[in-house]
Amino acid sequence: GETHRCVRPQWYVSQPGDPAAKFHDCGYELDWYQLRARDCLRRKESMLVAAPTSAGKTTIALDAISLCLASDSDSRVVYTTPIKALSNQKYGELAKEFGAAEVCLLTGDNTMGSPETARIIVMTTEILRGLLYGHRQDNFMSKVKSAVFDEVHYLGDEDRGFVWEETIILLERHVNLVCLSATVPNMLEMAGWIAQTRQAPCHVITRLHRPVPLEHHLYSCQSLEIVRVVDSLGRF
């Protein structure tokens, strides 16, 4: 099933969404939870989306980016990931989708594109935290309108979770958060913290069904064969 709930401050009144909002042309019919995410983007309200791998969470990120780029010529969006390899992957995907001139990669080890002119900045969450604390915040981050947090369940990581906490706290209140994950065990609790911290609504959108079947296989070094051990229904 799919669900949509919202945590908001008692005093907050949601504004009507922009019916003319320009989203990414994905080329296929969207699922119910993806349409609910578009409603949140129209109202410029943050969201926490949990859906299985391959369920289409990236489409929501592309919608957020497209909407930001279409709003005005100065708007920027940051896309954060927990590891450098994923940042490199996302940089390649977004550069192919929106053009290399529009995308910049910052991972600490590598910089690709121009941080001064690119409108889509891909980075690890630690880099974003450093920018928010550092001297580059005023001229580098002032035009950011949306922030995509891929694998946001790292917020609960014992060793690194504080990075996500501080980043969410330090981002300007006008920045719309798009938090994506396949596994968030305490979604309403996390959304409540985000809503309280930022004094704005945080929507919780979930999808349980996995559209692409998952099977587990083992490779036998003796027989040189791949053996299925768990089928798509979870049966051994």
pLDDT in tens, 133-185: 875 556 667 889 999 999 999 998 899 999 999 999 999 999 999 999 988 88
CA 205/CA 214 separation, integer angstroms:
22
CB atoms within 10 A of CB 162: 12
Dist. CA 10–CA 192, nearest whole Å: 12
For the cut 60, the answer to whether the pLDDT of residue 121 exceeds it is yes
Cβ neighbours, 10 Å, residue 193: 16
Whether this model's pTM surpasses 0.85: yes
